[in-house]
Structure 1
């Protein structure tokens, strides 16, 4: 996976910088998402592993994508094909999305709670996390009844565990040390 990331990163960064300079990040995000779905199709994945001329491969890929790619998107596909990198398109799309999130100062936060959170609770939680993380927060809430009470909040590397079992575990660790 790290090798795939190493190969995909320069393409993702180039696409992102181009999209920022042309003020069309959302359009590029959509194009890359669609193209990566095409690249992940089982039939297309087989075609990408065969020995085909880069121009022929790019033309085929672009014809399948149709109107989903603008001229700059088509040029991007041609460059990937010339360098034999169409198969890394899904990873390019993931890295592009990460760059977009960082650029927009947003963060996805997973909240697992014992019970469903009301809109008011979600609003308060979102506001608190935005202040703490200095970013716009996108909450992804889910329910896990086995938690009994409390919630686990995960934002990147940050994990906040306010569940009963988490608190008991911390208390136990404190008493043992």
Structure 2
């Protein structure tokens, strides 16, 4: 069976293509972000796994949570998370209720028993948006924190290689010993000392 990421790709592309053509990219991204949080919740997972609950009831519950907790709420945990993610300093930003097109998209996912894919759909959707803006996220893990000069050099090299604006997300893992691991989309570049030692070990034992 295909993995969740592979299954999610066509749904994410269809969602982004529609949203981009109709000027609602941010609205759909907001919904997919919150929907991802909802389906990852243990109690909602129980609902998804219950065969006695009709598909339309599952999708309706998801849409209703967004409409009440984000679009119709002055303040809520979902809205606080959404505002923080969007860089808003307060939760007074207004969000529209779920549109008919978005509701139909959720219904389609539910009918095909794919609501659990929403976190992966959201991640792929973000990548489509970033590519359309010529912006990519690069997740860089190093043995030691990057200096300003190293960060600037790495960012420039990645931007030139990928022909896009690059946003670097940094983390530190001393077990790498030296060097770095870089993840952009589905591609991983392991240039760490640990990775090179593992490659050498594999070659010697082959």
TM-score when normalising by structure 1: 0.75
> Contact 2:134 / 2:164 at 8 angstroms: preserved in 1?
yes
Q: Match for residue 22 of structure 2? A: 22
1:37 corresponding residue in structure 2 = 37
Q: Indicate the residue corresponding to 2:182 in structure 1.
A: 154
| Paired residue secondary structure (1:2) | coil
Q: Secondary structure at the match of 2:171?
A: strand
Contact 1:29/1:93 (8 A) holds in 2? yes
Match of 2:127 in 1: 98
- 2:64 counterpart residue number: 63
Change in CA separation of 1:153 and 1:143 when aligned onto 2, cut-off 3 Å? same
- TM-score normalized by the length of structure 2: 0.66
How far does residue 42 in structure 1 lie from its aligned partner after superposition?
Answer: 0.9
CA distance in 2, matches of 1:44, 1:37: 10
Higher Cα Rg, which structure: 1
**Partner residue, 2:105:** 76
Question: Contact 1:153/1:160 (CA < 8 Å) preserved in 2?
Answer: yes
- Structure 1 stretches of 5 or more lacking a match? none
Q: How many residue pairs align between the two structures? A: 169
SS in 1 for 2:17: helix
Deviates more, 1:26-35 or 1:55-64: 55-64
* CA contact 1:109–1:139 (8 Å) conserved in 2: yes
Structure 2 gaps of 5+ residues are 72-94
